Amino acid sequence: MSAPKNEMYYSLLEWFKTLNLNAPHSDAESLADGVALAQALNQFAPESFTDSWLSKIKASAVGSNWRLRMSNLKKVTQSVYDYYSEVLNYSLSDFAKPDLQRIAEKCDLGELERLLQLVLGCAVNCAKKQSYITEIMCLEEELQANIMRALQELESTRTASSPEGGVVTSLSRSSISGMLDSKAVQEERDAMAQKCFETEKKMLLLIDEKTNLQQELQKLQQEFARLEQHSTVIGDDGVSLGPVQTGSVRYNELRRQLDLLKEELIQSEGAREDLKLKAQQQDTDLLHMQMRIDELMKSSAEVTTLKDEVDVLRESNDKLKICEAQLDTYKKKLEDYNDLKKQVKILEERSADYVQQNAQFEEEAKRYANTKGQVELFKKEIQDLHAKLDSESSKNVKLEFDNKNLEGKNLALQRAKDSLLKERDNLRETVDELKCGQLSSNSALTGTTVSRELQPSAAVEKLQRLEAENKALREGQGGQTALAQLLDDANKRCENLRDQLKTANERILSLSHASQSDDPILKESEFGKQIKQLMELNEQKTLQLEESVTQSTSLQCKVTQLETNLAAREQEILAYDAKYRKCVEKAKEVIKSIDPRIASALDASVLEKSAAEVAEEEPKPKMSVMEEQLMTSAFYRLGINAQRDAIDSKLAILMGSGQTFLARQRQSAPRKSLSAMKSK
């Protein structure tokens, strides 16, 4: 742009100063708080920028607080953009939005220029635009040119949302240009009149000069005649000039003066003729200007008629927009209805799947209830077995007491052994072979008796029987709590078996130590057999302990697996229940949003039915959760079917008549009676 920097801002500020406002609006500091701009907008369009909106602009206590300025400027710019989009149907997407923070903090002139451009557009396109345009015409030509350039920039950057916007802007531009042309013609006419007045004055002056020259010429001629009559003439210095004769100095001088006066007279007459021609030319120009002014007046009358036509077209365009918006809404509703149909079908399929899954879950719950009873029975049996095990453990204690008595006897035998050792030393050589035979026969007899005494056959059989029963119980069990209790019982039994093994090992060590201390071969053989039997018992106990440990680990794995499966099933049930509730709530909202009249009728019919059902079902027992869910799904399916039938009847009425779409929209469709809906 060739214009200097901020020239347009100062031109817009000069125009803004012409407005009659209460707030100060003479410089950028006073405009930066937004109060003067808000008052100007309220003055331009009070129906859009109302007094209540103006009261929201904080006029007092703003000062140098840039945040309050920012708040006021945001409200002003937002309202201006809403006015352009809603009232004028303009889209300011291409127009650079003013940076309000720079205005509030630094009073930036460039951003204020954009904001004043928007305010100028509101003034030119408001209802009182003619008065504001005339005020613009009263400004200086340079200011008018800058204001016109600002309007043209605003017009070039904004795009109208409908053809009506272009017509209105072209009319405003044409009216402004017409006013500018008429003012220019008026100024030119005034200038021509001023020139005519000046030329007339010059003509009068020249006429006066001509009369003066003629008078001087007459005087000179009279003096010349008088001098010709007198022979001698005395000059100013008292010297005689002599008679005026041809060829004399005096005659030549007078002749030269006369020629000069004639030339001046001819020049004045030529100037007078030129001025006459100019005056005639100006008269013709004035006539042309008058004709042009008449044409402009006619064009202004045509502009007013075109404005009226534009207002009519604007109203019709608004009606057309409303009809198009209604058509779009009905199309969207129809598409939403089709989508909802599909969603309802999907929800029905899902609800059927959920019903099947709930039935399966109920069957599984029944099975779990049956297994619970079995688990309770198994618990009682296990308690009985534990009581038997306690009695056996008491018997085992008695056997340990007997073992201690045997140990006492063993000590007595050791004492006898010492005496026998002394005798052995005396009789070793004589009775060695006989003693060996007797010892072999006695060792066989005593070994069998000791092994029978040390072998706890009844306890082992009972333990094996209990382990077999426990294994059978473990295989037949199905409940989670029963498995956990069995696992605890197995762990306790394992601990008891470990204690028994520990005592048995201690017994084996004591017997082995006793056998090592006894030197007789008979006792060594007896204790060796006892040690072998105890070792076999120890191996059996270790095998039983390992089996019980493996069984306990397998039971623990089963328990954890069942717990995870049960938790997963519970989470799935909760998720399905939440999805079902969401679908039901969505179906409710859809039924209410499609047609509230049918929704209210359905609510009334449902209330009547529910009251009758409550009166009938008071003595009956409560429904289960499954029955309630089935009834709610059936009710919402009934509402959807009723809504579908109502919309189909409306569409049939609309499509059956031969009227236009707008005429069909004005007519109200006949409502169905509640009795018909109840019958469905």
pLDDT at 381: 81
Residue 12: name the closest of 84, 114, 102 by CA: 114
Residue 20 sits in the same domain as residue 137: yes
Is residue 657 a part of any domain in this protein? yes
pLDDT at 454: 39
Whether 286 contacts 192, CB under 8 Å: yes
Q: What is the mean pLDDT of residues 259-267?
A: 86
pLDDT at 661: 53
Is residue 435 a part of any domain in this protein? yes
Of 18-32, 59-73, 154-168, least confident by mean pLDDT is 154-168
Is residue 654 a part of any domain in this protein? yes
Of 106-115, 149-158, 326-335, 499-508, least confident by mean pLDDT is 499-508
Domain boundary among 161, 187, 212: 161
Per-residue pLDDT tens for 310-327? 888 888 888 899 999 999
Q: Reply yes or no on whether the pLDDT at 473 is more than 70.
A: no
Q: Looking at per-residue confidence, does 201 or 479 come out higher?
A: 201
Residue 430 sits in the same domain as residue 484: yes
Contacts of 676 (CB under 8 A, 6+ apart): none
Domain boundary among 161, 189, 214: 161
Residue 66: which pLDDT band, with cuts at 50, 70 and 90? confident
Distance CA 352, CA 56 (A): 58
Q: Reply yes or no on whether the pLDDT at 652 is more than 80.
A: no
pLDDT at 85: 86
pLDDT at 105: 85
Of 392-401, 583-592, 644-653, 666-675, least confident by mean pLDDT is 666-675
Residue whose tokens read 């005689």: 240
Is residue 530 a part of any domain in this protein? yes
DSSP 383-452: HHHHHHHHHHHHHHHHHHHHHHHHHHHHHHHHHHHHHHHHHHHHHTTTSHHHHHHHHHHHHHHHHHHHHH
Is residue 15 a part of any domain in this protein? yes
Q: Looking at per-residue confidence, does 340 or 396 come out higher?
A: 340
Domain boundary among 577, 609, 629: 577
Residue 564 sits in the same domain as residue 617: no
Number of structural domains (the chain) is 3
pTM higher than 0.95? no
Contacts of 79 (CB under 8 A, 6+ apart): 41, 48, 49, 53
> In whole angstroms, what separates CA 439 from the centre of its chain?
104
Domain that holds residue 146: 7-161
Is residue 263 a part of any domain in this protein? no
Residue 462 sits in the same domain as residue 377: yes
Residue 423 sits in the same domain as residue 538: yes
Q: What is the mean pLDDT of residues 594-622?
A: 51
Residue 569 sits in the same domain as residue 616: no
Residue 498 sits in the same domain as residue 602: no
Is residue 207 a part of any domain in this protein? no
Residue 554 sits in the same domain as residue 660: no
Q: What is the mean pLDDT of residues 532-546?
A: 75
Is residue 50 a part of any domain in this protein? yes
Of 54-58, 481-485, 636-640, least confident by mean pLDDT is 481-485
Give kind and range of the element (H or E) at residue 309: helix 249-427
Whether 178 contacts 150, CB under 8 Å: no
Q: Looking at per-residue confidence, does 586 or 119 come out higher?
A: 119
CATH assignment at residue 26:
1.10.418.10
pLDDT at 526: 65
What letter would DSSP give residue 91? Answer: E
Q: What is the mean pLDDT of residues 143-151?
A: 87
Q: Reply yes or no on whether the pLDDT at 424 is more than 50.
A: yes
Contacts of 168 (CB under 8 A, 6+ apart): 88, 125, 310, 314
Residue 455 sits in the same domain as residue 383: yes
Of 19-28, 119-128, 176-185, least confident by mean pLDDT is 176-185
pLDDT at 63: 65
Q: Reply yes or no on whether the pLDDT at 225 is more than 60.
A: yes
Q: Reply yes or no on whether the pLDDT at 182 is more than 70.
A: no
Q: Reply yes or no on whether the pLDDT at 174 is more than 60.
A: no
Residue 400 sits in the same domain as residue 510: yes
Residue 95: which pLDDT band, with cuts at 50, 70 and 90? confident
Residue 427 sits in the same domain as residue 367: yes
Q: What are phi and psi of 159, to 5 degrees?
A: -115, 130
Residue 460: which pLDDT band, with cuts at 50, 70 and 90? low
Q: Reply yes or no on whether the pLDDT at 141 is more than 50.
A: yes
CB-hemisphere CA count at 13 Å for 243? 6
Mean predicted lDDT score pLDDT of the chain: 74
What are 90's strand-pairing partners?
160
Residue 494: which pLDDT band, with cuts at 50, 70 and 90? confident
Residue 451 sits in the same domain as residue 376: yes
Residue 22: which pLDDT band, with cuts at 50, 70 and 90? confident
What percent of the chain lies above the pLDDT cut of 90?
Answer: 1
Of 14-28, 136-150, 224-238, least confident by mean pLDDT is 224-238
Residue 371: which pLDDT band, with cuts at 50, 70 and 90? confident
